[in-house]
Chains A and B, each alone.
Chain A
Amino acid sequence: MIHTRGLRKRYSGRVALDGLDLDVAAGTVHGLLGPNGAGKTTAVRILTTLLRPDGGTAEVAGHDVRSRPDAVRAAIGLVGQHAAVDEVLTGRQNLVMFGRLHHLGAARARARADELLDRFDLTGAGATPLAAYSGGMRRRLDLAAGMIRAPKVLFLDEPTTGLDPRGRTEVWAAVRSLVADGTTVLLTTQYLEEADQLAGRISVVDAGRVVADGSPDELKSALGGDRLDVVAADPAGVPAVRAVLAAHGEPEVDADERRVSVRVADRVAALTRAAADLDAAGVAVHDIALRRPTLDEVFLDLTAKEHA
């Protein structure tokens, strides 16, 4: 549904995209994950025809963004970082206006506005001007405005940035309901949790390029398997735990949490051996467990490699 090859863009001497390759399959939610300034928003602006690339190709819903921008615009919805709705109009007036601009007839635009208000749980707020909306309501109206024509591809550029936890949950629920309808979604975010929650596949972007690609599980596995976490019973025991776990690899120590982690390949065997060794060394242990790496660890690992 979305394909880019070698996408390049510079702004006033700074490289924003440095050969971005991206493939998003139809009907999936694809997360673009990366730190601020990684080029996520630039990629979305190019794919939504708002910005011209300097080089490379980009195709959305089968249309080239440069040669067929109108066909692309007819197939997409965009929800940007800032709620792009009219502050003065009411929620309903906004949706009717965008419906008319999508060339729905007057009656159809009104009917569609009511459907969308209902769907995004805003029916009660339809007659309220946007200025009186909460952040979560505004973003949901923004989503509704991006859905007027049931787009094939929906771009969500950091849809929950600046929202409180409740607003974030509201927006996530709205996105999930869209995905259930088969809309393809490209989601950019700097929140790992958000990508983990919503996206089936993730491309980690750093310095304008994709540095890793896969499902959240694949990305976590790619980071050298599971972690063995041992929490010492008291702070004084941390060095002893560290010494024992050093037999398995390079331990990472979180002194505040009294936690020592090490990557292990041979899961259960490593767990049993570590438990026996700790026992033999007489170290008091509060907790010992195997776990998958978090996306945070994947992310920090990948972006750290890039900058090294």
Chain B
Amino acid sequence: MIWALADGWTMTRRNLTHWTRRPGQVIVGLLFPVLLVLMFGFLLGGGMAVPGGGDYREYLLPGMFALTMVFGIETTFAAVAQDADRGVTDRFRSIPMARSAVVAGRNAADMLNATAGLLVMLLCGLAVGWRWHEGLASAALAVALLLWLRFAMLWVGIWLGLVSRNPELLTAVQILVWPVGFLSSAVTFPATMPAWLGAVAEWNPLSATANAARELFGNPAAGGDGWAAQHPVLLAVLWPAVLVAVFLPLAVARWQALDR
């Protein structure tokens, strides 16, 4: 158990050292969502009218926070697929280290990365006029729900990385993240979509977290009278829980199946 912690820490440090050795990549990763905020907020935002009324940028920012968490799947996928592809995973598996350490280190490093990314986005939000209106406790709960979504994405990313073992598929993951991002309430309004698409968008886990953050920060809501739109906080707790319940065992099984 002590070794599990020590080995997990060694693996975390390895992942953190990667960032210090490739600061450019980290900075681009942190600033890309900021660029999106500027594009959506100032270039497209002029033509956006929030159905329930309110400022579009106030509406946009929680959506961008949630989208940033979903983007995190790319970081996780790339790191896991690359390790599996290069044979480093085999070396870790042939060393008498704690079996959990590879995943624990990935977890710790990616969650730290996500927290840093979210912090940058919060500051970016404050800079473009976004505010929270419901007090610190409520805002902290929103942040926790955002990181909870990132935690779920972590397991999806680990599983995908182990299944594919091909870092070149990162581009495919990056492309597929976009339809998931747009078919949600992250930057647009499900209420203005064709009814069936709007329903899908409302039930998107990304929408649940974005809408929950809007409610807890006191920002304009996406509107809609479906059950999903009416219970965003509950759904933002449940959706990631379901994803973790599905993908954590799948990832562990995949890891164990490496010896078959």
Contact = CB atoms under 8 A, between A and B. Distances in A.
Contacts of A51: 259-260
Interface in A179-201: none
B259 A101 contact: no
Question: Majority SS of interface residues in chain B?
Answer: helix
A89 B21 CA distance: 7
A78 B94 contact: yes
Interface in B86-104: 86-88, 90-97, 101
A97 interface: yes
Contacts of B18: 88-89
Interface in B176-199: none
Contacts of B94: 48-50, 73, 76, 78
Nearest to A78: B94
B97 A101 contact: yes
A237 B123 CA distance: 89
Given A50-B259, A76-B94, A85 B101 contact: no
A50 B21 contact: no
B100 to A, nearest CB: 13
Given A89-B17, A102-B97, A82 B260 contact: no
B2 to A, nearest CB: 10
B3 A86 contact: no
Contacts of A97: 10, 13-14
Interface residues of B, number: 26
Interface string B37-81: 000000000000000000000000000000000000000000000
A78 B91 contact: yes
Contacts of A49: 93-94, 259
Nearest to B82: A87
B95 A84 contact: no
Interface residues of A, number: 29
B22 A74 contact: no
A123 interface: no
B109 to A, nearest CB: 13
A74 B3 CA distance: 14
A284 interface: no
Contacts of A93: 17
A74 B94 CA distance: 9
B91 A145 contact: yes
B23 to A, nearest CB: 12
A5 interface: no
A81 interface: yes
A89 B19 CA distance: 10
B258 interface: yes
Contact of A84 (B6, B10, B11, B90): B90
Interface string A65-80: 0000010011010101
Contacts of B88: 84-86
20 contacts: A51-B260, A52-B259, A52-B260, A73-B96, A74-B96, A76-B94, A78-B90, A78-B94, A80-B90, A80-B91, A81-B87, A84-B86, A84-B87, A84-B91, A85-B88, A88-B21, A89-B21, A98-B91, A100-B6, A103-B96
Rank and list the top 9 A-B pairs by shortest CB-CB distance, nearest first: A84-B91, A84-B87, A82-B87, A73-B96, A101-B97, A100-B10, A78-B94, A74-B96, A48-B94
Given A78-B91, A97-B13, A129-B21, 5 more contacts: A51-B260, A76-B94, A84-B86, A88-B17, A93-B17
